[in-house]
Amino acid sequence: MTERIGVLIRADSGPGVLHVLTGAIAGHEGDIASVDIVDEGERSHETRVYFEIDLPGAADPLIEDIRSLSIVHAVTLVNTLRAIYGKRIIIMGGGAQVGQVAVGAISEADRHNIRGERISVDTIPLVGEQPVADAVRAVARLPRAAALVLAGSIMGGEIEKAVREVRAQGLLVVSLNMAGSVPDAADLVVTDPIQAGVMTVMAVADTAKFTISRLQRRVF
């Protein structure tokens, strides 16, 4: 049985560093779920690398092998981002609508997180068909993203195409009841922005008895 662990490494900065680190992880049959490289700046000769690894055995032997590498300055076993921040809900669109959706989402997430759930809410006010479409497609590349809420007055065209693409990749998409073709492409359409935030959190929370696929209608 595998266990996902988080490993934060401070190492030399330069070509080949990632190759050496991933080689050590592969030597312990670790499956890298995600990696994030944090450059300390031009004047620093050190880089921080964060791995999330599905490991079939104990973590201590891997940590010791990484620590013994000449390029490594320090290595720390840490909680994974999923354990700390959990599932992510992304809200994007017009600033006023985004703010109202966030009110509902944050209030509902707080209720579930008190009961042991982990759900975080991210917002980005955006305008323009292409910027929003690009952002929608990027959500599918974000780690831990579970749902996207599109909050605006009118969205369609390239945004609709992007919505259909990310839904095909398994992302839940909720739309406000707005003008344009995006509501036709979304999993769920909600008129009230606060309720949209609440229902999105309920849809992804393990501690909620709410399943969109069981709804007899998809527009509220």
Instruction: Among 43, 78, 113, give the residue marking a domain's end.
Output: 78
Q: At residue 143, what is the residue type? A: P
- Closest alpha carbon to 6 in 47, 51, 64: 51
In the structure encoding, which two tokens stand for residue 135, read together?
């952002």
- Closest alpha carbon to 89 in 66, 70, 106: 106
pLDDT on residue 43: 57
**Is residue 74 domain-shared with residue 89, that is, in the same domain?**
no
**Is residue 95 domain-shared with residue 192, that is, in the same domain?**
yes
- Closest alpha carbon to 94 in 178, 9, 188: 178
pLDDT digits (tens, 9 = 90+) for 154-206: 999 999 999 999 999 999 999 999 999 999 999 999 999 999 999 999 999 88
**Is residue 40 domain-shared with residue 118, that is, in the same domain?**
no
CA 217 to chain centre: 28
- Please tell me the total count of domains within the chain: 2
What is the full per-residue pLDDT of the chain (220 aa) written as tens digits? Answer: 788 999 999 998 888 889 999 999 999 999 999 998 876 656 567 889 999 999 998 899 999 999 999 999 999 999 998 888 889 999 999 888 999 999 999 999 999 999 889 999 999 999 999 999 999 999 999 989 999 999 988 999 999 999 999 999 999 999 999 999 999 999 999 999 999 999 999 999 888 777 777 776 777 8
User: Domain holding 95: CATH number?
Assistant: 3.40.50.10550
Read off the pTM. Answer: 0.82
Instruction: Among 49, 78, 107, give the residue marking a domain's end.
Output: 78
**Angle of the 129-139 helix axis to the 158-168 helix axis, nearest 10:** 0
Identify whether 89 is part of a domain: yes
**Is residue 90 domain-shared with residue 185, that is, in the same domain?**
yes
Identify whether 220 is part of a domain: no
pLDDT on residue 39: 67
Residue 14, Ramachandran bin (φ over 0: left; ψ between -120 and 50: alpha; else beta): left
Q: How far apart are CA 34 and CA 2, in angstroms?
A: 15
**Is residue 99 domain-shared with residue 180, that is, in the same domain?**
yes
Identify whether 200 is part of a domain: yes
Q: How far apart are CA 132 and CA 144, in angstroms?
A: 20
**Is residue 199 domain-shared with residue 92, that is, in the same domain?**
yes
**Is residue 72 domain-shared with residue 94, that is, in the same domain?**
no
Identify whether 219 is part of a domain: no
Question: Domain range spanning residue 45?
Answer: 3-78
pLDDT on residue 145: 92
Identify whether 135 is part of a domain: yes
**Is residue 103 domain-shared with residue 172, that is, in the same domain?**
yes
User: Domain holding 32: CATH number?
Assistant: 3.30.70.260
- Closest alpha carbon to 210 in 193, 191, 187: 187
pLDDT on residue 160: 95
Cβ burial of 156 (10 Å; 0-12, 13-18, 19+) is middle
Instruction: Among 22, 44, 78, give the residue marking a domain's end.
Output: 78
pLDDT on residue 41: 56
pLDDT on residue 192: 94
